[in-house]
Amino acid sequence: MNPDMRITLTQFLIEERRRFPGASGDFNSLLLNVALCCKRIARKVAAGALGGVLGGAGAVNVQGESQQKLDLISNTLFIEGNNWGGYLAGMASEEMDAPYQIPDCYPRGRYLLLFDPLDGSSNIDVNVSVGSIFSVLRAPETEQPVTEQDFLQSGTRQVAAGYAIYGPTTMLVLTVGNGVNGFTLCPQLGEFMLTHPRLSVPADTSEFAINASNSRFWEEPVKRYVNECMAGRTGSRGRDFNMRWIASMVAEAHRILMRGGVFLYPRDSKDSRMPGRLRLLYEANPIGFVMEQAGGRASTGRQPVMDVAPSSLHQRIGLIFGSRHEVELIERYHNAPPPMDLPEPLFCERSLFRTPA
C-alpha cells in the first residue's frame, strides 16, 4: 500500500473515540503521549554507542536488578512525557520503588499509567531488540495522592495496554479492548502508521520459548510439557517443535503475535522470594491483555493471569502466553494429577493428554 494512504495512530484513535461520544479526549492524549515517549526511546536505543547510552548506570532497582543507563533514560522519558498532560493521577514503573505523584503544578487526571520503560535490558549492549510495555487503569475518584493500593487492580480492569518494540523497525502494538492493532514508525514522517490491523494469534503452534537453563527448577507440569515438545515426532505430541529464546519478552510476544507460539516464564523454585520472573502489573497483565484481545491466551498455568488479584506493586508471577490451544494444554497439565511412573527425563511416548498430530 502507498505509505501516504495509510492511516496514522492519531487518525486511528480519533476514529476509535467516535464510538464514545462522551469521551473527553484525555484517553487519546494519554496514548499519543505514550507513543511519543516510545519514539523518543527508539531514537536513544538506535543511537547506541554513538549516543553514549550503553552500559550500566551503577544503580540497583527495588527488585535488586542492576539498572542500565537506558532503563533510567527511558523511565525519565516516560515520566516527563506524561506528567504534565492532566490525564493521569499517578504512574508506576519497574524502575521506581513507589508510585509517582503528579506534581501539584499540573491537573490531576482520571487514569493511572504503569510501565516497564525498557524491557529486555540484558539485550541493550548486544544490539538485540528491546521494548517498552505499558498498561492503563482507571484512577480512584478522589483528590488524595495515589497509593500503591490504587494500582493493585486485576488485569481485567485495564482500559488500554500495549508495547513498543525497538527492532529493525520500531512498532507500537496497542489494544484499547477492541482487538489489537500494530503500527510501524515511519522514519520520514515520525508517525506511527497502521500496518498490522486486527492482529490475531494462531490457535495452534509448533514453536515454544522458555529459558531452559532453569529446567531443574521447573514444576512437573512444565517439565512434562517441554519434554513432550522436545520428544517431537517420536513422542506423545507426534510432531516436531521449534524453540526460541530472545530474553526480551516484548520481542517474544511480538513474534508470537506475528506467527504464533507459546512463551513460558513459569513459576519455579530458583529463588523462594520470587515465585516467577516477570512482574504482574507492568509486564504480565499488559502482554496478557494484548494476547487475549488477539485471540490468544495468557495464564499463570493455574488461572488466567488477568484474573489474579495483585498483592504488591512489583509482584512477580509465573507467566505462560500465546497460541490458545497450547496454553490450554499447559493449564490442563497444571490442573491435573501428574501421570503415573513418569521416566526422568520425561520423554514419554504416551500421555494422558495426547493431542492429535
Question: Which residues of this protein are in contact with ligand AHG, per CB under 6 A?
Answer: 65, 94, 116, 119-122, 211, 247-249, 265, 277
247: partner contacted, choices ligand AHG, Mn ion, none (Cβ within 5-8 A by kind) = ligand AHG
Alpha carbon 98 to chain centroid distance?
A: 21
CB of 249 to ligand AHG, least distance (A): 3
Fill in the amino acid letter for 169: T
Give the cell for residue 239. Answer: 510432531
| Cα(27)–Cα(201) distance, integer angstroms | 26
For residues 107-126, which are near Mn ion according to CB under 5 A? 116, 118-119
Provide, rounded to whole angstroms, the least separation between the CB of residue 281 and Mn ion: 12
Task: Name which of Mn ion, ligand AHG, none residue 152 binds, using a CB cut-off of 5 to 8 Å depending on partner kind.
Answer: none
List of residues 6+ apart from 352 with CB closer than 8 A: 336, 339
- Smallest distance from the beta carbon of 57 to ligand AHG, in angstroms? 13
Q: Which residue's Cβ lies closest to Mn ion?
A: 119
122 touches which of ligand AHG, Mn ion, none (CB within 5 to 8 A by kind)?
ligand AHG
CA distance 174 to 172: 6
Q: Given the complex with ligand AHG, which of 218 and 265 has the nearer CB atom?
A: 265
Binding to Mn ion, residues 18-37 (CB under 5 A): none
* Dist CA 128 CA 111 (whole Å): 33
Closest by Cα among 231, 226, 251 to 119: 251
Give me the DSSP letters along 263-324: EEE--BSSBTTBS-SEEIIIIIHHHHHHHHHTT-EEE-SSSBGGG----STT-EE-EEEESH
94 part of the interface to Mn ion, by CB under 5 A: yes
Q: Which is nearer to Mn ion, 253 or 329 (CB)?
A: 253
Other CB atoms within 10 Å distance of the CB of residue 225: 27
CA 62 to chain centre: 20
Upper half-sphere CA count for residue 158 (Cβ side, 13 Å) = 35
167 versus 179: smaller Cβ distance to ligand AHG = 167
211 binds, among ligand AHG, Mn ion, none (CB under 5 to 8 A by kind): ligand AHG
The least CB distance from residue 256 to Mn ion, in Å, is 16
Residue 285's binding partner out of Mn ion, ligand AHG, none, with CB under 5 to 8 Å set by partner kind: none
Residue with Cβ nearer ligand AHG (13 or 249): 249
74 vs 81, 123, 225, 282, CA distance in Å? 10, 15, 37, 15
CB of 253 to ligand AHG, least distance (A): 9
Stretch that binds Mn ion, among 1-9, 15-23, 91-99, 341-349 (CB under 5 A): 91-99
Phi, psi of 100 (to 5 degrees): -90, 130
Q: Which is nearer to Mn ion, 155 or 202 (CB)?
A: 155
What is the smallest separation between the CB atom of 231 and Mn ion, expressed in angstroms? 31
Q: Does 228 bind Mn ion (CB under 5 A)?
A: no
The CB-of-314 to ligand AHG minimum distance in angstroms stands at 11
What's the N-to-C CA distance of the chain in angstroms? 38
Contact 288, 250 (CB under 8 A): no
Least Å from the CB of residue 189 to ligand AHG: 29
| Contact partner, 186, from ligand AHG, Mn ion, none, Cβ < 5-8 Å per class | none
Q: Which does 289 bind (CB under 5 to 8 A by kind): ligand AHG, Mn ion, none?
A: none
3-state class (DSSP) for residue 151? helix
Binding site for Mn ion (CB under 5 A): 94, 116, 118-119
